[in-house]
Each structure stands twice: as structure tokens, then as C-alpha cells.
Chains A and B, each alone.
Chain A
Amino acid sequence: MPSESTGQSEPSSGGTSPSVSGPERTTDGQVDDTHHWWRIIGFWVVMSAIADPLFYYLAGPHIPPGTMSNVAQGAQFDFNILIVAALPVMLAVWIYMGYAIVNWRASRNGPEPIGGPRARSNIPIQTTWIVFTTALVLFLFGFGTYELVQPGGAGGGQGPSPIWTPASHDVLPIQVIGQQWKWTYRYPTFGGFETTQLVVPDHTAIAFHVTSLDVVHDFWVYQLGVKADANPGQDDVAFATPQQLGTFVVRCDELCGLWHGAMYNYGSVLRSAKFESWAEATEKRLAENTKFLPAFAWTYTPDANGADGGYYPDNVDPYSTVETYGATQPGEPLPSTKTTKN
């Protein structure tokens, strides 16, 4: 702490007399600042000890995104730990600032400030600060990485070659197709039918394969804690395992044009058995339509029929007068729909 001994021998004054211009001193001439420290630290410890558990136990369980899936629960836990770490930091700064504002205001006529080298730098304080902030940040990094790799990538999109996959080998793939301005879902293990309803089974690892037909969208399932960008011509994989039944909302989270704000729908988590029966029933119901859909692939390049002004390769090309280099010409076989790297 900044302190300065000037060698003057003044009688010790317990507190601050209002008109004294020198700093408080103890009998051996040292300036006594320790009581400031004790007050600040004491108050801080008490406030943190109240605030942290208060938050963790009262608000913690209700923190978004909730517990509907394992990744959502992981994200909630992560957030709570971050708040528990952040609250004391914020309280420390605010309590210190408040103390300074109250105690060291000019109108209080307290002791004069002391300048000079002691006030310009204090190596122990600086070192402590740097060490402490570095340790805190490294801890948060370690904890965040642990949470990220644990439940299969924390629900975030990992690109076409995910490296943090769920532990279970029984993964249900669902393809999410974004386009301006709606979401559709294809179920490859059920014949590849495409529907606007997102229905998922509980206690099953799900792999969302997100792609787009035009611009960049973002597939955000709020309650399941899944978020993956939908990129044209790319496959973006995110994992989640639902663990509670219920309804969830799907919103587009990347500005994609005019009706971005209206690009949302709802889905539901059903019991596995009910999901199976729904999927099989839907497969049968949509069988006629599924025949006309493009073959299932991880990405699609839309058949624009000239509507795109010639930007995209066309399979059937009666209208576009622009030659699209590298495109498939009418009559040629379609290019293989292999996954493109990011």
C-alpha cells in the first residue's frame, strides 16, 4: 500500500482531525493506511459472501437457456460459474470506488494526498493485480474449454468435421435447411422426408446438420442451447441431447434480409417412442412428396431455374441467358453432393 515515512515524530492521532493537513501517522511516523484496506476488504468479503450464494441458489436454476438438453444445462452451469466469479470482481471495483468517493472527496477536508514515487507505483500491488487477473482468466479459460469439450461441443456449430462428438454412438441426424425466410428439417434416417416441424426425441443424442440454400442464417434453438450458422454450400454440425419434454423456439440469429425477424418456428421434444411413431407416420404421409425432393445430401445448390439471374449453376435452364461458368449444363449429370470444407 502506498505509504511514506518522513521521519517526523508527531503524536499518533487515532482518526482524522478535520483541519490537519498531514497524513495520519502512527507513533513511529509511518502513515497508517491499513484501516482503509481492512474496511474495503471486509465489506467486500461480506458482500460477496452474500451475493454469490444468493445468485447461485436463487437465480441460478432459472438462468437461460434452462435444462431442456444436456448442452443447455452445461451452458447454464457455465454461466452461473462465470457470474460467481464475476460478481466479486465487480463488487470489488464498485465497493472500492464507492469508498473512495465517500472517504476521499475534497469537501471532506481530509489529509492531503501524497505524491512522489510511492504514489506513482507500488510493485507489490501491481504484481498482485497482474498475477491475480491472469490466474482468474486462465482458470476461466480452462473451465470454459472443459465445458466446451464435455457434452459434445456445448451445442455450438463445429463445421463439417466436428471433433467433440457425443459419447453415445446412437446419434440421430437431423438436417436443418435455412432459406430466406423459413426453416425446414429433413430426417435422413426416415427416408429423407422434409417437414417444417422440428420434432426431436428425448434422451437421444442428436446431430443437427445445418445448411443454407442462399445466404448466411443461424439456427438457434433457444431452449435446447444449440446455435449453428447456416452457410450456403457448407454443412455445420451441432450436437445436443434433450433431457426434458417440452416445446422450444427456433429463431434465425443471423441477419438474412427482409423477413429475418419473422424467421422462427417452434418445435417439441417428445418421448423416444412417441417420436418414432411420429417419424414413421410422417414418413408415410409425405412419401409422395419425398420422391420429388433432391436426393439427400449434406449441402444443396438450389435449382434456380433462372430466377437467380444466373448466379447459381442451373440444372434446368430455360430462362437464364447468362452463361454460368463451371455450372452444370442441362442434360449433364448433377455434380456429386460431397461435403465442402469451410
Chain B
Amino acid sequence: MATSTVDTEGPSYPGEVSEGHGVIGARSDWLKPNVTWAIVGAVGGWFFGRYVGDLIAGNWPVSQNTTMNNVSVVFAMSFGVLGWIAGIGALTYPILKMLGREPAPVQPSSSWVRYFRMTEDHKVVGLQYLIGVLVFLFTGGLLAMAIRTELLSPTSHVFGPGTYIAIVSEHGTMMMMMASSAVVGPLGNWLVPLMIGSRRMAFPRIEAFSFWIFMAGYLVIMTALPLGGFPTGWTAYAPLQTQANPGMDAYLVGFAVIGIGMIAAGFNLAATIINYRAPGMTWSRVPIFVWSILATTALLVLATPTLIVAGYLGVLDRTVQTAFYVTEHGGSSFLWENLFWFFGHPEVYIMALPGFGIVMEMMPVFTRKPLFAYRVAAAGMIGVALLSFFVWQHHLFQSGINPDMRPLFMLTTELISIPTGFLFLVTLGTLWRAKIRFEVPMLFCLGMLFNFLIGGITGVFLSDVPVDVTVHGSFFVMAHFHYTIMGGLIFALFGGLYYWLPKMTGKVLNQRLAKIHFWTFFVFFNCTFFPLFLVGLLGMPRRVFEYAHNLQTLNDISSVSAFLLGASFLIFIFNFVWSVYIDPVKAPDNPWDSRGLEWQTATPVPWFDFERIPVVLSDPYRYSEPGAPPVADPGAPSLGSVGAMSYGNAVGPRDVESLPDRPGDLDPRPPIL
């Protein structure tokens, strides 16, 4: 392991009253907090929690004659998470702060170990999130394969009803947990500082913590399976939730844990975007992807606390026997429904908005035209975020809510389709008289638009109450949200990965395999989910294992396509592993010829992102505009030159076409060692 005597000139933590720091000690990396200690902490915490829970609640009447009382289970999970967080070292700084001490600055590292530790480098966090998100996606995907296997036949069953319900619930919950951080995690963390011209995030430790607690959430929701799963689906309606077996606690605690991670990530990203923009980056020059992340953070920070409180009330119901969700004791099953969906609807926009951001960010690069109606796009995303708080009762149209509410929520839901439609205004306008290069990211953009159109239009159908009476709770709803989330967000995510992975990993992905992946993904996705619209219209409810015989053909088409869809993901995994690890080819600095600020760095991006904080001169979409200034001035030529930071005093603009791939080649500044 290379020890280095590197010294960062200037404090790595602004404002730190820095003493000198010398050689890193030779203490082994294994003893420092890392994922092995996190696992040890988690296991230790689990057993400690069981013990404490049994102490407290062992002789409560409600615990008699049960194998595992709920208090024990909840404590076990909570202490397990706490142990995980302590093991990874996330508690070091909070505890040191209480003693008034600052921790030693984290030295940059190039060893692979940094991916298994808390890190202050947002790029490392982004790649950690990428693996985490893919782990969630593939686990949930395997569960989906199991569901489609069961649904091959209406009468002959592969799983028992309890197992099937547990699989369905686990699949849905895992996917929702994954999707809420699918873009914000990997791409948001990796890209946002680079896109706004910042060297760092506002709160790097909180950012790293958000990833590790995301993984803690994965472990908690996976413990549901050995605990018998939970029978409520991801919507966890009470009082079935109150009645359920201990696996239900895994859902409640797991979602709360994921929620904490979501709040942390949103908190950090919002503070960064608002405060850390480079000089010259006014709001009208902010990349549209950053706008989408900003709109998403508003929802992450404000809607998720409701989920945590709703889950907390559910845990109270199950442990200390409160009656929040039990109608017969003064509570109300509607309370859970309202609290959950007040979070649940902004949650789906947390998923959708970053997908919009990715597509709108990539399209100008592959059409060589500026983004059409940029301000409308940004305003639209803010509008969607704002309106998303006012539509939640459309999930409750037939639930027995006050009937006066229904036209109101039908109106707000219909209205939210207007700013959602701006995505199409902007992307179609960008396509007008363009010069379209059909690289893989562009294919995913176009595929996303195709899928999201279907998903969005069927959403308008669902918002119409009379039609909703027929299709609510059926496979029509299922197909709608798979088209919007999988067809929209996941397509956008993969497009974004193919686009940015050359910069993130420094390696080129095989383009032929990527195109095969796209086409198999697109074709099989549509073959899997389009028949489900028909199946739902024809009367099949969600989450059932028995259905009418005449629906078997459609279900079988869907199931077979689903297996092929699952297999198509293997193409991506193979491509990724082969191109990054087995036979890597170094990527050029700017393979797509993009004007984005994140592409004006070298590949691989140095640990400090920018040698000089750039002065931003224009937005990144000024394609096909002769005489357009470069997106940013990369920095003054000499060390410490006064006035390098002030706008208007920058070195003269250089035509972006003539910038070499490695900006350092012609740069008179001292070379980077």
C-alpha cells in the first residue's frame, strides 16, 4: 500500500485551524473503520438489540406465546443499523465534535479500499452508490422473475400464498427503495459538483453517510425474508400492517432507514447546488440535470419525514400497542393511507424528475442543438415538485374518502400533467432540425420518451375517477407505473450510465454490446408490460396468484418477455465487468464531444476535480452557434494570480473546438504531477 507524504496546500476543511500534518501512520487499513467493521457492528448490534428487547418486553402480555416479539425485532434492527454506522466510522466525527475536536483530514487515497470506507470524495460515493443501486435492482429483479413464474398459470402454483405475497411485497419495496436513489445516488453525487464547478460537496460526510445507510436499508429489508416476509405489499395498508408477522417490522424500520438516507442525500445536494456554484454560474446557466436534482431534493427533504413518522407510528402500533391505525380503538386505517400517500406521491416524482433531467441533459449533445425552452424545462420541474404535494388522494379515490375531495384531486392530478408534458416540449423542440447521432445514450433518450409517453398518458386515464373505478388496483396501474418508473427512470438511468461511465471509470464500454442491450431491453420491456394494460382492463387485480383463464395467454406473453428482459440485464453486467476490469480501454476525455463542464476535466478526474475553480461563461447547451463562448474559463495561467476569480477578468475566451483533449498540454501552468 503506497503511503504518501502528500500535503494539501490549504486546508481540506475550510476554516480549519490547521496544525501541520505529516506522514500517515502505518496503521493497517484493516483496523480503520471499513465495511468489515460495519458488518461486525451490525451483527453485534442485532444481538444486542434482541437482548435489550427481550429484557424490556419479554414479559409483556402481547409477547407471550410468540417466538419473537416485535420490540425485540425492532430493537435488533435499529441497533444493527447503529452498529453498522458505527463500524463504518460515521459516528467518529459526531462524537469528536462533542469534544470540540476536529478529525484529521482524510487523505486522498487511490487504493481500492476506499470504496469500502467512508470517503469525502463525492466521486467515490457516486461509484459506491452505483454498485449499491445495481445490487438493489438485481435483487428486486430476481424477485420479479419469481413473480412472473408464478403468474405463468392461473391455477397451478409454484409458491404457496404466503411465500408469493412475501415475494411480491419484497420486490415492490426493494424497487421503490432503489428507485428513490437510483439517479440521485450514483449520478447526482458523482456529477453535481463537477457540473456546477465545485471541488466538493457542501457536507461530504453526510453524503458518505447517506450511502452507507442506504446499504443498511438493504440489509434490513433483506432480513424480512428470513422473518417470513411481510404480507402488505409496498403500500403497507393498516390494519393488515398491524396484524402482520415480524417481517413487517423489517419493512417499517427499513423504509425509515432508507428515508433517513434520502433526507441526508437531498439535504447535502440542495446545500451544494444553492451555495457551491462556481463564479459566473447564474441560475440560468445551471445545467438542466442539476435543476432536476434540485427539484428532487425539495421533495426528498420535505416529503420523506412524513414517511418516517408514518412508519414510526406503525412501529408504535406494533410494539407498544398504540392505536393509530386501528379504527376500533380510536385510530383510523385512513390515517396510514393519507400519511403514506402524502409521501408516496412526491416519492414517485423523486423518481421521475432525475430521469427527465438526464434525458434533457444528454439530448443537446447528440442533436448538436441547444436545449429548447430551457427556462420552461426548469420551471416545469419546479412546478411538478410543488404540485406533487397536492395530488396524493388520487390513490384513494375509492377508499371511502370524502367524495367532495375527488373532483379536487382529479383536477390537481390532471394539472400536474401539464408541467410533466414540458419534458416533451423541450425534447421534441431540441430534435427539430437537429443532426441526430444515434449513439447509445441517445437511443435510451428516445426509448425513454416513447415509454414515458405511454406511462404518462395512462396516468391521465387513472386520474379520471370514472375510469379509475375500473382500473384502480388492477394490473393497469401496475403497467402504468412500470412504464413511468422502469420505462422512464431506469431507461434514463442506463442512458446516463452509458453516457457518463467513460468519465466516471475512465474506461470505454463496448458500444456494440451496449446497442444490443438497448434493443433487447426496449423490445422486451414493452412486450412484458404492454399486455399488462390489457390484463388489468380485463379484470385482474394486483398481487393475486389466481386469475381468469382467458387471461393466461397475455400473462404468458408477459412472463416470457420478462424472463428475456431479465436476461438482457446480463448483457449490461457483462459489458461493464469486461470493459472496466477485464479488458479495459482507456476513454478519451470527451468522447461525446459535449460542452458540459464535467467533460472539460481530464479522465480520470483528479481527486480535487478542478485544478482551478472555473469561471463560468455560458450554459452548456450552445451547440451550433458560431462565436459562442466556451462554457467556462478553466483558470488563470499562473499560481495565485490576483483577480483570477473575479468575473470579467478572465483570460480571453478560447474557441471550444480548439481545446485539446488534455487541457494541460498547451497550458502554461505548472504541470500536475
Do A and B have CB atoms closer than 8 angstroms in the complex? yes
- Enumerate chain A interface residues (CB-CB to B < 8 A): 1-2, 23, 33, 36, 63-65, 71-72, 74-75, 78-79, 82, 86, 89-90, 93-94, 96-97, 100-101, 104-106, 110-116, 119-122, 125-126, 129-130, 133-134, 137-138, 140-141, 144-145, 147-148, 153-164, 214-216, 218, 220, 222, 225-229, 231-234, 236, 238, 249, 251-262, 264, 301, 309-313, 321-322, 325-326, 340, 342
**Contact in complex: B450, A97 (CB < 8 Å):** yes
Closest to A236 in B: B400
The distance from the CB of B366 to the nearest CB of chain A, in whole angstroms, is 9
Which chain B positions have C-beta within 8 A of A325? 329
- Enumerate chain B interface residues (CB-CB to A < 8 A): 61-62, 161-162, 164-165, 231-233, 235, 237-240, 242-243, 326-330, 332-334, 367-376, 397-404, 406-407, 410-411, 414-415, 417-418, 421, 424-425, 428-429, 431-438, 446, 449-450, 453-454, 457, 460-461, 463-470, 472-474, 537-539, 541-546, 548, 621-625, 628
The distance from the CB of B477 to the nearest CB of chain A, in whole angstroms, is 10
Pick from B237, B415, B457, B465: contact of A255, CB under 8 Å: B237
The distance from the CB of A23 to the nearest CB of chain B, in whole angstroms, is 8
Expressed in whole angstroms, the Cα–Cα distance for A209 and B415 within the complex equals 32
The distance from the CB of A107 to the nearest CB of chain B, in whole angstroms, is 8
Closest to A105 in B: B436
Expressed in whole angstroms, the Cα–Cα distance for A261 and B623 within the complex equals 55
**Contact in complex: A260, B165 (CB < 8 Å):** yes
Expressed in whole angstroms, the Cα–Cα distance for A213 and B474 within the complex equals 23
Expressed in whole angstroms, the Cα–Cα distance for A105 and B442 within the complex equals 12
**Contact in complex: B544, A261 (CB < 8 Å):** yes
Expressed in whole angstroms, the Cα–Cα distance for A231 and B437 within the complex equals 55
Pick from B326, B375, B472: contact of A311, CB under 8 Å: B326
**Contact in complex: B231, A258 (CB < 8 Å):** yes
**Contact in complex: B239, A101 (CB < 8 Å):** no
Expressed in whole angstroms, the Cα–Cα distance for A267 and B233 within the complex equals 28
A-B contact pairs, 14 of them (CB 8 A): A71-B466, A93-B428, A94-B450, A97-B449, A104-B431, A106-B437, A129-B425, A140-B414, A215-B238, A216-B240, A227-B469, A234-B327, A253-B541, A326-B330
**Contact in complex: B334, A231 (CB < 8 Å):** yes
The distance from the CB of A327 to the nearest CB of chain B, in whole angstroms, is 9
A113 and B469 in contact, given A216-B333, A233-B327, A258-B162 (Cβ under 8 angstroms): no
**Contact in complex: A90, B454 (CB < 8 Å):** yes
Closest to A72 in B: B470
Which chain B positions have C-beta within 8 A of A82? 460-461, 464, 467
Expressed in whole angstroms, the Cα–Cα distance for A134 and B403 within the complex equals 25
**Contact in complex: A261, B461 (CB < 8 Å):** no
Which chain A positions have C-beta within 8 A of B406? 148, 156
**Contact in complex: B431, A90 (CB < 8 Å):** no
The distance from the CB of B431 to the nearest CB of chain A, in whole angstroms, is 4
Expressed in whole angstroms, the Cα–Cα distance for A157 and B398 within the complex equals 5
**Contact in complex: B432, A311 (CB < 8 Å):** no
**Contact in complex: B546, A262 (CB < 8 Å):** yes
Pick from A75, A309, A321: contact of B469, CB under 8 Å: A75
A113 and B466 in contact, given A82-B461, A159-B402 (Cβ under 8 angstroms): no
The distance from the CB of B426 to the nearest CB of chain A, in whole angstroms, is 10
**Contact in complex: A64, B418 (CB < 8 Å):** no
Which chain B positions have C-beta within 8 A of A96? 428, 431
**Contact in complex: B469, A71 (CB < 8 Å):** yes
The distance from the CB of B450 to the nearest CB of chain A, in whole angstroms, is 7
Closest to B412 in A: A141
**Contact in complex: B433, A111 (CB < 8 Å):** yes
The distance from the CB of A145 to the nearest CB of chain B, in whole angstroms, is 5
Closest to B329 in A: A326
Closest to A232 in B: B327
Of the listed residues B231, B400, B418, B438, the one surrounded by the most CB atoms of chain A closer than 10 A to its CB is: B400
**Contact in complex: A229, B428 (CB < 8 Å):** no
Which chain B positions have C-beta within 8 A of A311? 242, 326, 328-329
Which chain A positions have C-beta within 8 A of B411? 141
Expressed in whole angstroms, the Cα–Cα distance for A256 and B237 within the complex equals 9
**Contact in complex: A105, B438 (CB < 8 Å):** yes
A218 and B398 in contact, given A86-B461, A113-B367, A260-B165 (Cβ under 8 angstroms): yes
Expressed in whole angstroms, the Cα–Cα distance for A153 and B406 within the complex equals 10
**Contact in complex: B542, A100 (CB < 8 Å):** no
**Contact in complex: A261, B546 (CB < 8 Å):** yes
Of the listed residues A74, A154, A162, the one surrounded by the most CB atoms of chain B closer than 10 A to its CB is: A154
Expressed in whole angstroms, the Cα–Cα distance for A2 and B400 within the complex equals 51
Which chain B positions have C-beta within 8 A of A249? 539, 548
Which chain B positions have C-beta within 8 A of A228? 398, 400
**Contact in complex: A156, B468 (CB < 8 Å):** yes
Closest to A223 in B: B539
**Contact in complex: A119, B372 (CB < 8 Å):** yes
**Contact in complex: A154, B465 (CB < 8 Å):** yes
Which chain B positions have C-beta within 8 A of A255? 165, 231-233, 235, 237, 240, 542-543
20 more contacts with CB within 8 A, not counting A82-B460, A321-B61, are A1-B432, A2-B432, A90-B453, A90-B457, A93-B449, A104-B367, A112-B624, A115-B625, A116-B370, A116-B624, A138-B414, A141-B415, A154-B469, A156-B397, A162-B403, A231-B333, A249-B539, A258-B165, A311-B328, A340-B327
Which chain A positions have C-beta within 8 A of B398? 156-157, 218, 227-229, 238
**Contact in complex: B328, A144 (CB < 8 Å):** no
**Contact in complex: A233, B328 (CB < 8 Å):** yes
